[in-house]
Amino acid sequence: MEIRLANLGDLNACAAMDDSFETDYVWQMEEHANAGDIAVTFHLARLPRPMRVSGIISRDDVLYNFQHGGALFVADDSGIRGFIDVTESAWNQAAHINNFLIAPGYRRKGIGAQLMRAALDWGRQRKLRTAMLDTSTKDYPAICFYQKQGFSFCGFNDRLYPNHDIALLFALSLR
């Protein structure tokens, strides 16, 4: 498996990849407000049956970021098996991991860790301070993966996604 920077010819293969997954768990948010106090908690909830989720990758963003100076790393094994899209935010010295996908038949084989390492090394080479990403509360497999990679929960945004899912925010120090 070769991890490398993508070329123009890789974009179609990335766009054609299946981004669906199945999960038995979601993170649910509860908000409690009292006079002068707001408390937000997230708890893991087991679903009554597995849920199939798709549409989490923004193929338009992948193309835009590729065309505007972001890095797109691919896992190539006689075909594209996964990719990670990362951009730099100069004002806060952050590497933003925007889109990350491993083809269904290649998940849980270490490819994601290799791609993540490439994206984090890219950020370190640019002397960035932190790596940041967001993921849906429905993407339990990704949340587990990010935590295993050392990312820590650092907030949420309930207005980020057009489908009204809650985005969980994660960060990792690059220094």
Pairing of strands 130-136, 94-102: parallel
pLDDT value, residue 162? 86
Contacts of 131 (CB under 8 A, 6+ apart): 86, 94, 95, 96, 97, 119, 120, 123, 151, 171, 172, 174
Radius of gyration of the chain (CA): 17
pLDDT value, residue 164? 87
CATH superfamily of 2-18+57-173: Gcn5-related N-acetyltransferase (GNAT) (3.40.630.30)
pLDDT value, residue 73? 98
Judge contact between 128 and 93, C-beta under 8 A: yes
29/91 Cα distance (integer angstroms): 30
Question: What's the pTM value of the predicted model, to 2 decimals?
Answer: 0.93
Over its length of 175 residues, how does the chain's per-residue pLDDT go in tens digits?
999 999 999 999 999 999 999 999 999 999 998 888 999 999 999 999 999 999 888 889 999 999 999 999 999 999 999 999 999 999 999 999 999 999 999 999 999 999 999 999 999 999 999 999 999 999 999 999 999 999 999 999 999 988 889 999 999 999 9
Name the one residue in this structure whose structure tokens are 């935590």: 147
pLDDT value, residue 36? 87
Beta bridge partners of 101: 83
The distance from CA 130 to its chain's CA centroid, rounded to whole angstroms, is 15
CA distances 106 to 21, 85, 94, Å, are 12, 18, 29
Of the candidates 15, 34, 33, the one whose C-alpha atom is nearest the C-alpha of residue 85 is 15
85/70 Cα distance (integer angstroms): 7
Judge contact between 117 and 105, C-beta under 8 A: no
162/111 Cα distance (integer angstroms): 29
